[in-house]
Structure 1
């Protein structure tokens, strides 16, 4: 009984300590020669769920200091413009950005470099993306695809509910997300980008709202209701398009580095009346013989404490616990440092 109490106490401490997220900058901010940083950040309605949210979103971007970022849940074009202006004022560095459309939910690109042209965008249906060619410097241009996929019927939740019990039921549940990522890959501009990938790297970054086939494996099945599952959306990019999951490339050990991005604050699922499944659903994929991922992390770091939403609490609505969080999102963001040759 004593051991059980200790385990419960440690779990409570891990998820429940209420302090501010450290505001120090990334320890890896010193740029390496021939390198750039890509980031994906679901901003949770532009930070609207916390006090002074937009300012806190900007603070996180400054801390991580990406060269290029995929942003999800942009609430309006004016908010994106405010972010860009504020970043310029605070950093003294040139920033620019583009969003897929004017409404919410929206996905966009933010960068310190020159957007040469927007090559594709989709803003209808359940999935969104915008793509642009970006000149990182005179020797490197990247084809950058910012993506947000459908959030309904989250796979890990459906596994818990036993709606998904095998590959057949999984494919039925995941067909919409798979269709959306296939639509991105089938986009004429993506197919054109594949023809020049030896010179111009392709990155697909965003909130996929699905678990990874690389994570739900035998070695860590105990984290996933004793289930192994080849989630098709990520598998399509790795197997069919031959893209690489940068985080899993840098951290191949799924047990020591689960890379959880969902969720910073959600701890209780009212639908299933059980603990919210915690998983890795935000990704930075790349395809290029020129790129080598040298670092990939979630942010804020796992030891950063946040106020969270527990049982009988609807996060950010009836529950005010998260309002004072310094970190403004319900997703951990992800960044990857690439060295190019």
Structure 2
């Protein structure tokens, strides 16, 4: 049995708002000792540049999505829309007998459900209606259709779905956690529900079943206040995921990562953490 350490990380416009961002990204990856990373907002070049600096394998799909891996990438499939939203996938070969299918996704960012709830106080049916209007529900349904063949054989070849979904999880917006979400809960957020119904499990929430004691927020370590200047708190939510399917994977640990105590936006140039999202890291045992 081997361990596989997987990360989902939105690089924030390739990291460009932060000085010396590529070196800082490399430092994060090396210190965290990652094996496979799904990258969003790569700005078209970050995937190749990071992989070459690490001596790793890589796959770039359009200007937005990329996967880097210390293990060989043997197959590449799926192409995001011209907007950059959607998903791409690879097969990562761990050894002569073991492989893992890795999909990496990014879904549209607006309208944003936590703003509708916590700032605009919209009723739950409107939250779900807006979620569908955003295109994220159709987006995840397209991705799950593309993944269907792999999901059907997940016990032979495990499947991962990494990404920034720009959508909360129904596992987080539970009744007990309502005080963390403006008093809302439960909310059956449809993107996470669709992934669950397709057989994908949420590795972070498996490692930390209680959303009150372990909220796991990934948006945003740089935005304590909402950007409209009203002084209202920015809703802190978990919108980045490492999902998985298949008996060949067991969650050993899952965590969010932010290093260096970053200064809030806009005074970010000197931050050592080169993103506006926290990363998600899950360590799996692979049978």
TM norm structure 2:
0.94
How far is the alpha carbon of 1:46 from its aligned partner?
Answer: 1.6
**2:37 equivalent to 1:44:** no
**Which stretch shows the higher mean deviation, 128-137 or 263-272?**
263-272
- Render the CA deviation track for 1:269-292: whole Å, top value 9, x for unaligned: 234822211111100000001111
Runs of 5+ consecutive residues of structure 1 not aligned to the other structure: 1-32, 89-94, 309-314
Match of 1:255 in 2: 212
Relative distance call for 1:66 and 1:117 in structure 2 (3 A) is: same
Residue 60 in structure 1 maps to residue 6 in structure 2: no
Higher gyration radius (CA): 1
Q: Secondary structure at the match of 2:166?
A: coil
Q: Is the aligned partner of 1:109 residue 2:67?
A: yes
Q: 1:126 to 1:81 in 2, by over 3 A?
A: closer
Q: State the partner residue of 2:53.
A: 86
Match for residue 61 of structure 2 among 81, 100, 118: 100
Q: In structure 1, what is the equivalent of residue 154 of structure 2?
A: 197
Q: 1:237 aligns with which of 195, 198, 205?
A: 195
CA distance in 1, matches of 2:84, 2:72: 29
Cα distance in 2 for partners of 1:116, 1:126 equals: 23
How many angstroms does 1:123 deviate by? Answer: 2.9
Q: Secondary structure, in 3 states, of the residue corresponding to 1:337?
A: strand
Structure 1 residue 307 corresponds to structure 2 residue 275: no
Compute the displacement of 1:64 (Å): 1.5
**Root-mean-square deviation (CA), in Å?**
1.5
* Residue 76, structure 1, aligned to residue 44, structure 2: yes
- Matched residue of 1:268: which SS? coil
Work out whether residues 17 and 269 of structure 2, in 8 Å CA contact, stay in contact via their aligned partners in 1. yes
In the alignment, structure 1 residue 275 sits paired with structure 2 residue 253? no
Asked if 2 retains the 8 angstrom alpha-carbon contact of 1:145 and 1:205, the reply is yes
Distance 1:54 1:136 in 2: 27
Matched pairs, number: 283
- What is the CA distance between 1:126 and its match in structure 2? 6.3
Structure 1 residue 256, shift from structure 2 partner = 1.1
1:44-85 Cα shifts (integer Å, max 9, x gaps): 1121111111111111111112111100000123x3322222
Partner of 2:282: 336
Measured in 1, the distance between the counterparts of 2:118 and 2:179 equals: 13
- Give the SS at the match of 2:6: strand
Confirm or deny that 1:159 pairs with 2:117: yes
CA distance in 1, matches of 2:162, 2:48: 21
SS at match of 2:78: strand
Runs of 4 or more above 6 Å deviation: none
In structure 2, what is the Cα distance between the partners aligned to 1:143 and 1:82? 23
Aligned 8 A contact 1:260 1:278 in 2:
yes
Contact kept in structure 2, 1:38 and 1:67, CA below 8 Å:
yes
Matched, 1:180 2:136: no
CA-to-aligned-CA distance 1:95-118 (integer Å, 9 cap, x gap): 0111111x3xx0110100111110
Q: How far apart are residue 125 of structure 1 and its match?
A: 4.3
Structure 2 spans left out of the alignment, 5+ residues: none
CA contact (8 A) 2:48 2:60 kept: no
Q: How far is 1:192 from its partner?
A: 1.5
Aligned partners of 1:236, 1:214: CA distance in 2, in Å? 12
